[in-house]
Structure 1
C-alpha cells in the first residue's frame, strides 16, 4: 500500500486546481450569476441542476445531492479511487506525490516505472520499423501513410528477441526490468521472447498520452491475428479505448465518437478525415467502455459488420448501454454490408459516402425495436406476451424517466394497449418526488447556521474575535465550530473544497458536507454581519448559563474570590448587550 499523502500537499494540489476548468473539460458549463451550471452527469437531469462555484471550489447538484471538491468529482465522474484522483491532479500540475514512509514496492512507484518502461519500448518499436521490410510492406499494402504511422506511434516487434536487442542496443539492466514487469517473458526452454514478437505494434495511450499497453497484428499469419499485451497496474482492457487520445488532440469535446472494431479501422478512417474514430481494443464492449465514451461525448455511434456476428455484437452493446442512456446521452448504429469492414469499405466508397452512413446511422429506439421484434408475430397474442416479457425488463434498466416511458408507450401500442393516462401518471410521479425533496430540510439552529456560514465562507474566520474565551464552555456543536474556525485561521486562504478535504474520513465530515451545501437564505452582503451577530448571541447565551450557575452556587455554598471576579466580569459583559 502507498504511504500516507501529506494533507498540506493535497491542500496545495486543490489550491492549484480550478474546479470550473476541471469540470468544463468534461461537461458543458454555462455561466449563471456567480456560479456555473450544467445538466447533472450523475442522474437523469432534464434541467440544469448541477452547480459549480469557483470561489468555494465546490460543486453541488440540487437534484441528486451529488457534491464535493475537485477530488470528489474525479472519484464520482471518472470512477477513480482517492489515490488515483490525487495522481490525476498531480499529473495535471506536473507535481510528484510526496508519499510519507514510501518504499519502492508502493503501487504508485510501480505504475511510474511501468509508464517509463512502456514509453521506452514504444520508441524502440518505432525505431525498429527502419530495420523491418515486412512491416514497411504491410503498412504500404494497407495504404497507411507515414503521417498516420507517426500520429499513432506505430512500430514493429522482431521475430527474435536477441536480434531485437542487438539492433536497438538494449542493455541487460533494461532487459531485466522488462522481465521483472512481465513485459517480456521466458519460455520453457529458457529463451527470452517479446509477447508481441513478429507483429505490427499499436501503442495504446491513456488520456494523458502515456503508453499503457500495446496491441499487435501478426505479420506472418500466426494466430491469434490480433493480440494485446497483458494487463498490468496501468492497463485494463475493459477500461481502455484505442484512439481516444488522438481524437481529443484534435477536438476536446467531439460531436460524436465512432466506435469500430480494429486498430487498422481507426487508423484508415482517420487518414480519410473521418474524425472521432475509436476502438475498444477488439474486445467485447463493457459498461466501463460505455461510461468512458459518454464522459467524452453525448453521441456514440457503433459501427459493426453486417453479418450475424456483427448484428449480435451490436445488440449486446445496446443492452449494456441502456442504463447509461439519457435525454442528452444516446447511441446510434451502423451495420455495414456483409464481408465489409470500415477499412475496406471506405477505400471502395470514399469519404463522402462513408460520412453519409454516419449521418444516416440507426437511432437507439429504432435499433431496439428492430431487434426485439425478431421472429415476433404481432397478430399472435402469445407472441405479444413474449414480446412484453422480453422488452420490459430491458426498458426498465433505462434510468431516464422520459425515455423509459416513451419506449413503454411504443411497446404498449405494438401489443394493443392504449394507455393515454400513462404520461399524466409520469408527471404526477415526478411532482411527488420534487415535493418530497423540497420538504426534506434540516432544522435551523443558530449553531448550525454559524458552522454552515463558516464552512461556505472560510474567510469569515479573519473577522471572528479571539476564540480562547469560548473554549472552556460547553455547548452542543461548539467544539466542531471552534475546530473549523482554528483550521481556517491556520490556513488563511483556504476555500470550501480544501476545507472539506482536510476533514475527509473524519467523524465530522458528513455534517460538514451537509452544511457546505445548506441554503441558509442569507444574502451575500449580510453574511459577515449575520456571522458576527450569531457569534455574539451564542457567546452571550454561554455567559448567561454561566451566570445562572454561579448565582446558584453562591446561594448554596458561596463563591471563591476568583468566582466573584468572574461573575462581576460576566455581569459587566452582559450589561453591554
Structure 2
C-alpha cells in the first residue's frame, strides 16, 4: 500500500510541465505553460499547466488533474501503472511491497499467463478440423483473416483445454478460479466453454483477461462470459477498449454498441471506433472511462420501442455525471438492425450517414417524452412538462442543468403553436396520398431544398425510397451538406450532373407530385416548406412502424 507521503514526494519530484511536455508541445506564458489540449480536438490552445500549484486545466473541455491523472488519462493506464511510469521517469524507487501485496501480484501474473495460454489454445483450435464450422461462421459474417487475428478469435472444442493447461503446470483449482473449469453437482469437473466461438476480452494494455463465448449450437445461453476475478470485473471492462486508436478520435466517431460482432465489424470498416459493455447495462464508471479518451460519445440504438427504453435508462444513468465538455448523442438505426447487420449488407454508406448525424441528448429526451405524452392535450402536456423538469434536474452540474432547463421551457413554449397550419392559407388542402407518393414528395422537396438535411438528417437517414438511385442521391446529399451546409439546389444539381445521375431527377413525375402536394416546392422558400416536410417525414416513419 502506497502512503500519501510517498505519493506527494513522487508528485513533487518533477515539474508537471516536464512530464506533460513529453506528450504535448507547451509554450511558456507568464507563470504557466499553454498548449493544445490532448484530450479534445482544438485549434486554439486552451490547455494550461501550472507548475507552482501542480495541476493542469483545459478551459475547452474541463480536463483537470495532476501528473498521475495526466498519465492515467493520456496513456489509458491504471493508478498504479501511472505511479510506476512517473517513478521510472523521476528515478524514485517504489517502496517495497509487503507479503500480502506480493502474493496478490504473483497471483495476477499467474492468471495472466494462464489466460494467455488459453487464448493461444482457442486461437489454434479455430483453424483445426474441429473449428471449421466456427471459422466458416465468422467468415460468413464478413470478417477478414486479418481481423480474426487482430482480435485473436478462437474456438473452444468440447474438451482439450484442461489437459493442455494441466500439461503446462496449472492445477484444476487454479482453472476453476480463472472461470475455465466448473465443478458439477455430481462432483465431476467440466470445461466452461465448449463448442463455442471465443472472443478474448482484453485489459487496457491488450492482455487477455477473460473470455466471451458464443454457442455454435442451440443453447439457452447463447453467450457466456467469464466470471469476475482479480483480473476481470464485468461492470468495469469494455470490449474493444484495447483496440481504440487515439489518433482516430479526431476524425472517427466513438460508438457505444451492444455486442462483440458490432465492435469488430466497426473496427474492420475503419469508418468509426466502437466499444461495448459485457452483457450488462453500461455503468457510470464505464461511461467516465470512455469520456477520458473521447469527450464525444455516440450511443447506437435500434430504432424500435426496445431501443427507446434502453435510451431512457441510459439517459437517467448519464445525466447525474454530465459535465461541461462531455457530450452524448444517439444514432438511431433502422428497426431490427444493428451495426454489424448494416455493415455486412451493403449499407455502409447508410450506416455512416446515421452515425455522423446523430440526435443530440436534449433532442432525444424531448423525442421520448413527446412519444410518451400527447402534447396537444393540456393534461398530457402538463405531465410532459413535469417529467421533463424532473429528468433535467438529475443533472448535478448547475450550469448544464440550467442550460437544459432553458431549452425545455423554450420547447414547451414553441409547442403551443405546433398545431397551427404549416403553410399559408393560400395553399389548397392536399388530398390523401399513398406511401410511395409521400416518399416521392419528400424526395422532390429535398432536391428543391437541400438545406433541410441539416435539420432533419437523423430522420432522413431512416428512409428507404425503394429505389437504389434515389437512396444513393440522398446519401450523396447528406455527405455534401456535412461538407457545405449552405449548398443550394443548383450546386447539388450540378454535382449530380458530374456524376451522371441527373437522369433520376428527370424521371420524376413532378407534375403529379406537385398536384398531390398542392403546391410547387421549387417556388416556395425553405422556411415555409419546412413544417410540411417535417409532417411528411413523421407520416412515413409512423407508417414504417405499422408495417
Same fold (TM over 0.5): yes
Q: How many aligned residue pairs are there?
A: 403
Query: Shift in Å at residue 304 of structure 1?
Result: 1.4
Q: 2-side partners of 1:250 and 1:170: how far apart?
A: 43
How big is the shift at 1:287? Answer: 0.9
2:11 touches 2:67 (CA, 8 Å); kept in 1? Answer: no
Q: Which residue in 1 is equivalent to 2:150? A: 151
1: CA distance between counterparts of 2:358 and 2:48? Answer: 34
The alpha carbon displacement at 1:10 in A equals 8.5
Distance 2:81 2:16 in 1: 16
Q: Secondary structure at the match of 1:349?
A: coil
Choose 1 or 2 for highest CA Rg. 1
Instruction: State the structure with bigger RCO (CA 8 A, min sep 6), 1 or 2.
Output: 1
1:86 matched residue in structure 2? 80
- 1:372-391 Cα deviation digits (max 9, x unpaired): 22232334332233222211
Which residue of 1 is the match for residue 132 of structure 2?
Answer: 133
- Is contact 2:68-2:82 (8 Å) kept? no
Task: Please state if 1:406 is matched with 2:403.
Answer: yes
Q: Which runs of 5+ in 1 are unaligned?
A: 419-577
Give the equivalent residue in structure 1 for 2:379. Answer: 382
Give the superposed CA RMSD: 4.1
Is residue 300–residue 332 contact of structure 1 (8 Å, CA) maintained in 2? Answer: yes
What is the aligned partner in structure 2 of residue 488 from structure 1? none
C-alpha distance in 1, partners of 2:65/2:361? 33
Q: Deviations over 1:136-181 (max 9, x none)?
A: 1221222211111111111122222xx3345688435355532344
> For the residues of structure 1 that align with 2:126 and 2:166, how far apart are their CA atoms?
15
Q: CA deviation at 1:30?
A: 6.4
* CA–CA distance in structure 1, aligned partners of residues 285 and 175 of structure 2: 29
* Alignment of 1:331 onto 2:325: no
Aligned: 1:59 with 2:55: yes
**Equivalent position SS for 1:373:** helix
Match of 2:315 in 1: 318
1:236 is displaced (CA, Å) by 1.5
Separation in structure 1 between the aligned mates of residue 161 and residue 360 of structure 2, nearest angstrom:
49
TM-score, normalising length from structure 2? Answer: 0.63
Instruction: Check the 8 A contact 1:256/1:298 in 2, yes or no.
Output: no
Displacement of 1:15 in angstroms is 5.0
Which runs of structure 2 are paired with 1:361-380 in the superposition (5 Å)?
361-380=358-377
**After superposition, where does 1:192-271 map in structure 2 within 5 Å?**
192-248=189-245, 251=248, 255-271=252-268
Instruction: Give the direction of change, closer, same or farther, for the CA distance of 1:353–1:100 in structure 2 (3 Å limit).
Output: closer
Is residue 109 of structure 1 aligned with residue 106 of structure 2?
yes
CA distance in 2, matches of 1:149, 1:415: 51
How big is the shift at 1:404? Answer: 2.6
Contact kept in structure 2, 1:254 and 1:297, CA below 8 Å: no
- The one of 303, 306, 330 equivalent to 2:303 is 306
Partner SS state of residue 299, structure 2: strand
> How far, CA to CA, are the matches of 1:350 and 1:145 in structure 2?
18
SS of the equivalent of 1:214 reads strand
TM-score after normalising by structure 1: 0.60
Deviates more, 1:190-199 or 1:144-153: 190-199
Offset at residue 222 of structure 1 (A): 1.8
Q: CA deviation at 1:183?
A: 3.7
